[in-house]
Every structure is written in C-alpha cells, then in structure tokens.
Homo-oligomer: A and B are copies of this chain.
Amino acid sequence: MREPRDTARDRSVTVLAGGYGGAKLAHGLALVAPELGMRPTIVVNTGDDLELHGLLISPDLDTVMYTLAGLANAETGWGVRDETWSSAEMLALYGAPTWFRLGDRDLATHLVRTERLRAGSRLTEVTEGLARSLGVQARLLPMSDEPVRTRVRTDDGWLDFQEWFVRRHHADAALEVRFEGVATARPTPEVLDAIAAADLVLVAPSNPFVSVGTILALPGMLDALRAAAAPIVAVSPIVRGAALRGPADRMFESLGGEASAEGVARHYVERYPDLLDALVIDALDSEAIPAIERLGLTVVAQQTVMSSEEDRAMLARSILSRFLP
C-alpha cells in the first residue's frame, strides 16, 4: 500500500504566478493537492518587490503565502487578516512614506525576511522558511534570487512598479514596461528543477505584462519551459473583456493587443511562440474557442472566476483532471 506522501512525490504541478490571481489558483491547487496526490510548486514574480523603511517587501510572494497559510485578508486582496495599523500611525508621525500601507503583522514578515537576507540567505531559502513557519504545505519559490524591478513608462516618465500601481492607483496608461536587473538575474536552480520535473506547468490568471511577463523575461526561463516535458497551460486573466482586478485590460489597450480571451491567447502565442499548449478561458468567453484553436492552442472553457474557496478548488480540480497525466 502506498502512503499518500509517496504519491505526492510522484506528481508535481508547477505554477507561474503573480499575486492576486496567482494566489487564488495556488490556493485551489493546495486545497485539492491531498486528494490528487500532488504537491504544487508556486513560482512567484518578484518584479513588484520594493524597499521601504529599509525592508525588502515582496508583495506577490506575501499574497500567495498569506493566502496559502489561510491568513490572507479576503476583503483587501493583500495583507493579513485581523491586521492592526499601529506602526503605520507612528511611521506617519515620523514623516515616513505611508502610501504603501504595511500592517503590523505584515511588517513582521518583512523584518524577518530582510534580516535573513542581510545575514546572507538567498530569497529562496528565506521564503521557504517563512512559508514553513506559517504552515504552508505547497512549495513557494521566488522566480529569482537576484533583484528584478519592474518599471512602467507613463506620460510622467518611468515609474517604479509600486509607485505606478499603488501610489498612483495604476491610473496612468502604461506606455512601456521594463524589468530592471533582468539581464543579470537568473531563475533559481529550484525553479528550473521544478519546471523540468513538472508533470504540468500552469500559468496563473495573472497579469501577462507585469506578473507572468516578468517571470518569462528571466534569461533561460523560456528555454527551460520549452524544454520541459510537461504540458503548459495558461488560465486567462481576462473575462468578458475585463481584468477581474488590476490594470491588465487597460495594458492590452496601451501596450498592444486586445483585452479578451482571444487577445490573451494571441499575446502568449505571438510573444512566446511554442510556449503554451492550452488556454483555459471562462465559460462566458466560449465564443472565442474557434479563434483560439486556430492559433494552435487547446482550449478549455469553464468557470474561472474564483469568488469562493469552492470556486478555487473546482477550477484547480478541473484543470488537473484534464491536464495532469
């Protein structure tokens, strides 16, 4: 008789994820992982990271980690639930910047991360340690141990990602995106292993330009994905022409392409030839199936909006039953 743990070692799913949609899909996978005998590995964008108050903040890693730990603030979509804001009030008294709000519990994560990084640990090791402390069962990996910083060009010039996204509420049209440091950054050995060993690679319903796009911009990443034995399946972050959250839809307008399920397919097929095998789109967009199939992708149309935990588990179970060998 095989133990569940042995089974878990046999099937591996690797997800490329940003914060919000990535966290939800990762959570769905984590929910169904025990029953399906697999442990998901979540490779997370770190291009949105920033330094504030002398601390390294990794918003996407933290959103995924808090979600998987059951600590996420469901109302805001970021940060920790049952949060308090005393340190932020005091920081404001000292005139420190407060536009990027950090709760007291959240702050502890950044303190520990920063201290361990300064002591010489890699972000990969630090992330695994933090996640383990919070009881996260899935494997959480930063895309790289080297800093990559996404910047967005607007009519006001180049802005740091969080300056654009949080401070200015992504109100400025994104005219261009660049990933500072990406040329000298590398996917970690752990990420490359997780891709090579995967039975299935998923691209989360995250922003194709600044979440998935950042991960795919890492030197060697596309080669690693194309060389992987596993099918690569993306989930569209656009439903009925709109992003469920964030500026992905407006970025299609300003950066080129179309904010639609077909536009997502075209984006991936044209920018990253021979990468995707399939695209999961929302059932509400099923009229796009023929056009997407003509681009050479397998298409699955189903409910992709994850409003509840049940939705998350259902989407994960459905994708895995269709694509996990």
Contacts and interface: CB of A to CB of B under 8 A. Distances in A.
A54 B87 contact: no
Interface stretch (A89-97, A216-224, A240-248): A89-97
B130 A94 contact: yes
Given A86-B83, A86-B103, A115-B54, A108 B134 contact: no
A111 B88 CA distance: 11
A96 B108 CA distance: 9
Given A87-B104, A104-B86, A93 B53 contact: no
Interface residues of A, number: 32
Query: How many subunits of this chain does the assembly comprise?
Result: 2
A300 interface: no
Interface in A255-290: none
B84 A86 contact: yes
Interface in A70-108: 80, 83-84, 86-91, 93-96, 103-108
A112 interface: yes
Contacts of A118: 54
Contacts of A133: 93-95
Nearest to A117: B54
Contacts of A8: none
A96 B112 contact: yes
Interface string A130-152: 10011000000000000000000
Interface of A: 53-55, 80, 83-84, 86-91, 93-96, 103-109, 111-112, 114-115, 118, 129-130, 133-134
